[in-house]
Chain A
Amino acid sequence: MSEILVKNGYVYDPKNGVNGDVMDIAVRDDKIVDVVSPTAKVIDASGKVVMAGGIDIHAHVAGPKVNVGRNMRPEDKLFNTSKRTKMTRSGGGFSVPSVFETGYVYSRMGYTQVNEAAMPPLLARHTHEEMADTPLIDQSAYTLLGNNWLVMEYIKRGEQDKLNAFVAWMLKATKGYCIKLVNPGGSEAWGWGMNCVNVSDPVPYFDVMPSEIISGLAAANETLNLPTSIHVHPNNLGHPGNFQTTLDTIKLLEGVLPRDGKKRDQVINFAHMQFHSYGGNTWKDFETEAQTIADSINKNKNMTVDVGFVTLDETTTMTADGPMEYYLHNTNHLKWANADIELETAAGVVPYIYSPKISVCGIQWAIGLELALLIDDPMQAFITTDHPNAGPFRRYPRIISWLMSNQARLDRLETLHKVVPDRVAIGGISRVLDFYDIAKMTRAGPARALGLGNMKGHLGVGADADVAIFDYNPKTMDPTIDPAGIEKAFTNTAYTIKGGEIVVIDGEVVSKGHKRTIWVDATDGVVDPVILHDIDKKFLRYYSVTMNNYPVQDEYVANGLIVKPEAA
């Protein structure tokens, strides 16, 4: 039995309504408890900010396309390698770090759970191998289903029951956490070099519309009572004027409520909304539509977004939206990798330089911040960079400093291309967020959206003992005029506790940790022989592996934690 007492910190714990009160947090083994014995190890957190461990709801940190990015960009490591120490392995990479580096950097920032946002089912084993090698942080992976042939066939034929069963089978086969849709229909169309730009563009041959795929999988999600909602990367990412497509997507699920409202509020989480809030008709008259999108999210309490802030860095874009990456390659003419996955999905990787000198990049930077500030409830908007697409995750502290200081934003805006201020609204938004809001956007919010609100993202009794302690005194220091101080404090915690174990002290990794891999098994009473027959037929005829060699074996799941929904 190990015990820790975190004493006298300023605690920010939105789920339990604690807003900067001075409190003690007691830890026994891997849980938060009421009291601990006098022999507990004491951490003096006086004059420091205490929050639950951070949760990244959307990042590309493990799996095939991440590894393509690592391979394709040796230059990403040029000035970014780290030496091995007694406790840590060596590694490197700025925008696409190696797995060890990923675990260390997240832990230093106080993050304790990171969710891999796109796992191609056929290559799920690869994603799990990388996650098992990623130290310290808990992880889960989202199973890509929005372009799956069987999904589209069941939807086309209106066989919702079979769809539900197939989804449950797939989640178990891939050891995935939720249903992820990326450019629904569009990545299948990319098999022929085509795309689905709007929610009503029919998918070639399959003759279903993206709107039907989204509604069908959302229905399956609620029937199966999965812990989180569907996560959707909508069609038409990154094109001027695409906010209209986004509004069309929002309309599909207006008024639909989650089956179990106690657990979560949303029926859809929009991935990287910044990329979907674009106005104008071409890159020449490109402008923000963040206000329109934020208004719509404010009206629809059954939806959440992760923002996907542009950080103005050189980075590596990677997505299952194959046609988008080809389009990007034709825009910036940098190297292009593509990886179509049979019957399931696609992927592309292209380096990208978000240059502050380029007007479009400056406008993208502003749109991300506008979204976060114009969406009223921070429980609906989460901090992400769609790592590494809009910027590397190691920039989260800088994003927090922008959100907490209008002055920091205005200073940055001044350095951008001269047309930027006219095309964005950020200059006129004076709202600044406080630590309570930040705790919602990085802890309580993502935890609730993932259906893990009782276990993660808070510091109440019974929660996982994941605690981040930041060396920043909210009573004597003022984040609105001190962005550099905020960035410094959030880059290296004073302490990170993960699962009751101290893993970081003063920015230094001091433990190898005990990571967990969380996945969902919703197959109880759902999968029947008819489905297995359909799946088997697909494997016999069209897959390049046998059905028996397809599911991810238990050996690959590092320290697994299975979440079982109540039977549907």
Chain B
Amino acid sequence: MRTVTDVVCPFCGTLCDDLEVDIDDAEKICETRNACIIGDNKFMTAQAPDRHLHPRIRRGGELVECTMDEAINKSAEILVNAKHPLLYGWSSTHCEAQEAGMALAEGVGGTMDNTSVCCHGPSVLAIQTVGIPSCTLGEIINRADTVLYWGCNPVNAHPRHMSRYSLYKRGFFTERGKSDRTEIVVDVRKTETAKNADIFIQPEQGRDYELMNALRVALRGEPLPESVAGISRADIEKVAQTMKDSRFGIIFFGMGLTMTRGKHRNIDIAISLTQDLNTYTKFLIMAMRGHYNVAGADQVSQWECGFPYAVDFARGFPRYNPGETSATDILARKEADAALIIAADPGAHFPIDMVRTLASIPMIAIDPHVTPTTEIASVYIPSAIVGIEEAGSAYRMDNVPIRMRKVVEPPEGVLTDKEIIDRIHRRVMELQGLEVPEVTAVKEPAEASAFDGILQRST
């Protein structure tokens, strides 16, 4: 029996990094500590006996087992023969695989997109319009005395968020934890999170924008009508005053804002409201990212090509125009003639018309588990589970990068996401008649002493 500590949970954007995992002598995961119920499940089911371990390829309408080489070769052929392949997903894998994916997308002139397109893509558009005053989660631990959850429900979706970072945790200037904080919840439903709140505001559905506008008016002390979005003037003024009176406040927002009527305009005004509040006190705002490394997918794409998601390489240079170059829209217009889906499940989450498009074109699915997406694939390659069977970088919802740990070996023959993408890319280069670079081993760091004449290196 051995125990791995400081394990990082590969589930949600909270990216808890304090898990302990017990592994027995047969290399079976037998217990986790500190994880929420979802995280615990992720670890405990990782080695389930019914996990698919072999690549499969569609022959005569059926997915049948094949060799890895066959699967890699077929995948490369699909991508090379396509005019406009879509490479989508990337949010439940590490940054190393995302980097490999960027290179592949560029190599095949495809569109690279991640799950931001169906979660916080609108937040990105708002950030590109007005910016975003934000911080890391530790700032909230240590300073926040007003915490506002708007259109998000951490009790169910990010179970340890409130205890680890935002509400209950005792920090340096917040020694009494929850007692030092005012919790405000704005939601169209009385969620589990709302049941807890000091102030709960329940606006009419789809009218968040108006309510935030009213808050901006109230902050300035300008006159308001009797009620806005179903909320009375008194309540609006109370919330505005609470925010104004706080020492350090934070707004967390989720898909209740980004994916409801108004979309990026809701976020635009939420950020503008936050910026206004800085006239009176310190106030910041943060998106509750879903997939554990969707933030990393944005980050990698930004540093490699300048844009966070929905990047089209068809012309040889990055082009970004969400609505045109985003995965959902490309599928809606039936523009993609092939797809590679990795580390996400559009088969379960995209509108049905887009799933139909996916099912009608040659599609490669890479995922540790069988999902609705893998079942409509032309090629399915099972992969190792990042954070359990493979180490690598992930970015938390506040863009703090943490290295995911490997706690057990992947099942024999199962490759990691990065290995699969790299192998497909090398085969693609062969098919394109390009020179395939040699695989170079990682070098040990050299040492040098700066102080005796010329620096002496040992290599």
Contact = CB atoms under 8 A, between A and B. Distances in A.
Interface of A: 62, 64, 66-67, 70-74, 76-77, 81-84, 86, 89-93, 96-100, 122-123, 125-126, 129-130, 133, 149, 191-193, 205, 225, 227, 260, 263, 326, 329, 334-343, 349-350, 451-452, 454-455, 462-463, 541-546, 548-549, 553-557, 559-566
Interface stretch (B205-213, B233-241, B398-406): B398-406
Nearest to B321: A74
Given A91-B317, A126-B401, 16 more contacts: A67-B302, A71-B308, A81-B306, A89-B103, A90-B106, A91-B306, A191-B248, A263-B451, A335-B127, A336-B130, A338-B132, A549-B8, A549-B17, A549-B403, A562-B445, A564-B447
B265 to A, nearest CB: 15
Contact of B303 (A70, A74, A334, A561): A70
Interface string B111-143: 000000000000010011111111111110111
B457 to A, nearest CB: 7
27 contacts: A67-B302, A71-B298, A72-B127, A73-B128, A76-B306, A81-B319, A84-B106, A89-B304, A91-B304, A97-B306, A126-B299, A129-B95, A129-B303, A129-B401, A133-B303, A191-B139, A205-B173, A225-B451, A335-B127, A335-B128, A342-B141, A462-B453, A544-B165, A546-B6, A559-B443, A560-B445, A566-B449
B434 A86 contact: yes
Contact of A98 (B18, B303, B319): B303
B402 A545 contact: yes
Contacts of B142: 342-343, 542
Given A191-B139, A563-B455, A77 B306 contact: yes
Contacts of B455: 452, 454-455, 563
B449 A84 contact: no
Nearest to A126: B401
A562 to B, nearest CB: 5
Contacts of B143: 191-192
Residue in A205, A225, A561 with the greatest tally of chain B CB atoms within 10 Å: A561
B284 interface: yes
Given A454-B455, A557-B445, A562-B448, A339 B135 contact: yes
Contacts of B130: 335-336
Contacts of B356: none
B275 interface: yes
Interface in B9-61: 17-18
B328 to A, nearest CB: 19
Contacts of B316: 83-84, 90
A260 B453 CA distance: 12
Contacts of A64: 399
A91 B401 contact: no
A342 B137 contact: yes
A322 B6 CA distance: 31
B369 interface: no
Nearest to A517: B445
Given A123-B399, A193-B278, A546-B18, A67 B299 contact: yes
A187 to B, nearest CB: 12
Contacts of A99: 303-304
B189 to A, nearest CB: 29
Nearest to B322: A74
B245 to A, nearest CB: 14
Contact of B318 (A81, A192, A329): A81
Interface string B294-314: 000011001111111000010
Contacts of A545: 17, 400, 402
Contacts of A560: 445-446
A7 B12 CA distance: 60
Contact of B450 (A452, A541, A542): A452
Contacts of B393: 125, 129, 556
Contacts of A343: 138, 142
B172 interface: yes
Nearest to A96: B306
B171 interface: yes
Contact of B448 (A86, A260, A563): A563
Contacts of A91: 304-306, 317-318
Contact of A193 (B131, B170, B281, B391): B281
Interface string B311-355: 001011111100000000000000000000000000000000000
What 10 pairs between A and B have smallest CB-CB spacing?
A342-B138, A560-B445, A335-B131, A340-B135, A338-B133, A544-B138, A193-B282, A83-B316, A548-B6, A81-B317
B439 interface: no
By size class, the interface of chain B is 35 or more
Nearest to B311: A90
Nearest to B440: A514
B133 A336 contact: yes
A67 B141 CA distance: 25
Contact of B447 (A98, A349, A562): A562
Contacts of A77: 306-307, 318, 320
Contacts of B434: 86
B426 to A, nearest CB: 16
B302 A70 contact: yes
A83 B305 CA distance: 11
Q: Which of B131, B138, B434 has the most CB of A within 10 A?
A: B131
B206 to A, nearest CB: 26
B73 interface: no
B454 interface: yes
A341 B133 CA distance: 12
B454 A74 contact: no
B183 interface: no
A454 B305 CA distance: 36
Contacts of A553: 403
B305 A92 contact: yes
B17 A337 contact: no
A542 B172 contact: yes
Contacts of A563: 448-450, 455
Interface in B415-459: 434, 442-443, 445-451, 453-455, 457
B5 interface: yes
Scoring A77, A86, A544, A556 by chain B CB atoms within 10 A of each residue's CB, the highest score goes to A544
A544 B136 contact: yes
B318 A227 contact: no
A95 to B, nearest CB: 11
Interface string B387-415: 00001010100111111000000000000
